[in-house]
Structure 1
């Protein structure tokens, strides 16, 4: 179908508006999801007297729910639609941001903080809503573009890294959380009254959730995509959340400076993501994925050397961000091609859950490695090994060639 035909198709009217609205919803969800990381060293470390290991655990904790919840959330999106799910998750995100603010401001209980940080992860599950929602608005040979545009909502991590430390200084800890909770709740209302589900999903008979999940888990393609996405999106989540701590430990960045650098990293990754989706549409996801993992493996080794020159480490991290962002768009462009519209949400939920879980362990590993050795060399080498394994798996995944229109 040509671009002209798509534009004149009354069923697709409003496709860009609705995908952009979904992208903004994802931005806010990711902002809430990564509330803690940018404030970890500047607030939580001192307020709760945390060790490096405890700090890493706190940063990683929201990732668990943000990852695991994507599985039922993706399946529920197939059943209830994106408009309902976006509204519900933004409302829950607002509530949990406020609860985290209350616990962080008025208690000194680290176990309680871990519990509420765990449930803060609900914001990260919003990604599993947007993938089937965005894909349903576009024709098959442009699903990579659609999911790439939606994936730009990952910039919410950059928003958190850039604004949270500054808001902490300007307004204080608890008012910062109140402001962000109000933003999430306000946008939930806008979504409810303005957003629409794709007409392509109208009349679809909902299927029971668990059978769909079980059916998806029986496909080897699902697990292959889960693994490679766990590596590439896991790297994005890990760097976005842990980079302020990393730059503070290695290069003595203060909180605002480290947050700005983390925001730069996340922004570069987000900008690169739709180009990854478009590349998957044009030449096929396999060749793009292969180049991406080769680059990540090489950059991991160079970053592990911890060059002292600002020109070197800025360049290496920015290149890493670009290739990671490119890869996240490419892999989900692959998901859209490897599944039917009715199962995209379920498979996408599993794959995005794997990506979230991939982001849970690296901060723990980085904290443990730094605590034991005073550097991050072996943590970066672990990323290199994971990238090379993913490279091998990419050769085996089906439907990786140039797509047919």
Structure 2
């Protein structure tokens, strides 16, 4: 009996049902991401009703991202100790009041309260750090790129928010829209509590939080993957957050708020589809080569965006391809973590790396707002900075050691 449970066949039997568990985690992540990104699609409404300038808009958009980033360090480490089921439930339940606070701030047109609400709303973005170790534990090491890639599709919540939040606000009203999002979070928390279960391979790690995080920070792989993820996921978060603002500013005669929401939804969907593909390809060919392809694509496409081509097919295709390149990179980076990290530290390392990705999405909107040139209606400088940072990341990735490939 013991031999059976330690053999590959026994492990496969033990992990039966893993895909269903990962899909449930993906659905929960989708709802949380919808809440996390619920301010961005309505940024033009807030700006108009509250009289916000460029700096205030950028800060409003970036605040939930910052908290969601830093909070992932704690949530990732706590998932190692308490498990995904408990952490998913806690994050979902804590996020619902944050959405209601956003609704109150918008209703009374209070920018300070909206900033406070956005800070609290960042809790929803921490769910990613719970899902990576939870999902990875349900699959053998050679298929964890696939597992984390599928879970990463929960980013579609960004597209859901971009597409439906402004439409719902228009059709049923601002307050009912936020009540709906908060209700979805609570319902999802109930589903998680009753139907999610931990992998038989998962074992709680009772090491205290601070030593756990310090231990993760002592690993070279943590810093390497944090830097790369800060580019690929940070770029995705930054564009998902700032794209409606960018499109309505650069192309005011061609793109309205609903059109910008649709374009942002397509951007997010392209990254979501590409993410599991990146994980699968990383399992097959190694994460290094997929990361190089991803970063090369980001650099090239960011250069094209920086030229501010006329609104139309070129801009649409360019943003979609950029999102796909980012998605490939996200899948590859997390496929890189599992085989390179001690099993008991995967949650802590994932939390730190995920936090770096969130931080990577925090600064670009602030930079874009600070470098906006009103005289030429241009974000050239901010986009050039993305090109330069992406090129540097490409060099760094090329210098890192790859991990073994499936079947190698």
TM norm structure 2 = 0.95
Equivalent residue number for residue 10 of structure 1: 13
Question: Partners of 2:52 and 2:128 in 1: how far apart?
Answer: 31
**SS in structure 1 opposite 2:401?**
coil
Pick closer, same or farther for the CA change 1:205–1:298 going to 2, 3 Å: closer
Alignment of 1:134-213 (within 5 A): 134-202=135-203, 204-213=204-213
Matches within 5 A, 1:89-168: 89-106=91-108, 108-168=109-169
Q: What's the counterpart of residue 63 of structure 1?
A: 65
Q: Is the 8 A contact 1:286 1:401 kept in 2?
A: no
Partner of 1:251: 251
The unaligned stretches of length 5 or more in structure 1 are none
RMSD: 1.6
- Flag structure 2 segments of 5+ consecutive residues without an equivalent: 1-7
The answer to whether the 8 Å contact 2:15/2:199 transfers is yes
Summarize deviations over 1:13-55 as a string: whole Å, max 9, x none: 21011000000111111111101001001x1011211112111
**In the alignment, which residue of structure 1 is the partner of 2:342?**
340
* 2-structure distance, mates of 1:181, 1:127: 18
Shift in CA distance, 8/294, structure 1 to aligned 2, threshold 3 Å:
closer
Report if aligned partners of 1:338, 1:398 keep a CA contact under 8 Å in 2.
no
SS at match of 2:342: coil
In structure 2, the CA distance between the partners of 1:7 and 1:268, relative to structure 1 (3 Å rule), is: farther
Q: Give how far 1:397 is off.
A: 2.8
Aligned length: 399
2-side partners of 1:221 and 1:13: how far apart? 30
The 3-state SS of whatever aligns with 1:402 is coil
1:391 maps to which of 371, 394, 408:
394
Q: Give the superposition deviation at 1:206.
A: 2.0
- Structure 1 residue 205, shift from structure 2 partner: 4.6
| Per-residue CA distance 1:58-79 (angstroms, 9 max, x = gap) | 0111011100000010000000
Structure-2 change in CA distance of 1:205 and 1:111 (3 Å): closer
Q: Does the CA-based 8 Å contact 1:157-1:263 persist in structure 2? A: yes
What is the aligned partner in structure 1 of residue 371 from structure 2? 369
Task: Check conservation: 1:72, 1:349, Cα contact below 8 A.
Answer: yes
Matching residue of 2:382: 379
Q: Is residue 54 of structure 2 the alignment partner of residue 52 of structure 1?
A: yes
Contact 2:73-2:355 within 8 A present in 1 as well: yes
1:320-358 CA distances to partner (integer Å, 9 max, x unpaired)? 011011111111111112112211100000000000000
Whole-angstrom distance in 1 between the partners of 2:245 and 2:112? 21
Quote the offset at 1:9 in angstroms: 3.3
Preserved CA contact (<8 Å) 2:205 2:344: no
Find the counterpart in structure 2 of residue 278 from structure 1. 280
- State the alpha-carbon separation in 1 of the partners of residues 402 and 140 from structure 2: 17
SS at match of 1:199: coil
CA contact (8 A) 1:7 1:13 kept: no
Q: Distance in 2 between matches of 1:368 and 1:399?
A: 38
- Residues of 1 paired with 2:269 and 2:79: CA distance? 27
Contact 1:53 1:371 in 2 (8 A): no
Q: Distance in 2 between matches of 1:103 and 1:295?
A: 40
Query: CA separation in 2, counterparts of 1:66 and 1:162?
Result: 21
Does the Cα contact within 8 Å between 1:232 and 1:324 map onto a contact in 2?
yes
Q: Does the CA-based 8 Å contact 1:236-1:324 persist in structure 2? A: yes
Kindly tell me: are residues 401 and 298 of structure 1, through their superposed partners in 2, closer, same or farther at Cα, counting changes over 3 Å? farther
Distance 2:268 2:233 in 1: 12
Q: Partner residue of 2:34?
A: 31
Which range is displaced more, 152-161 or 244-253?
Answer: 244-253
Per-residue deviation, 1:116: 1.3
Alpha-carbon deviation of 1:6? 6.0
Deviation at 1:93, TM superposition (A): 1.0
Deviation at 1:208, TM superposition (A): 1.6
Residue among 295, 298, 307 paired with 1:296: 298
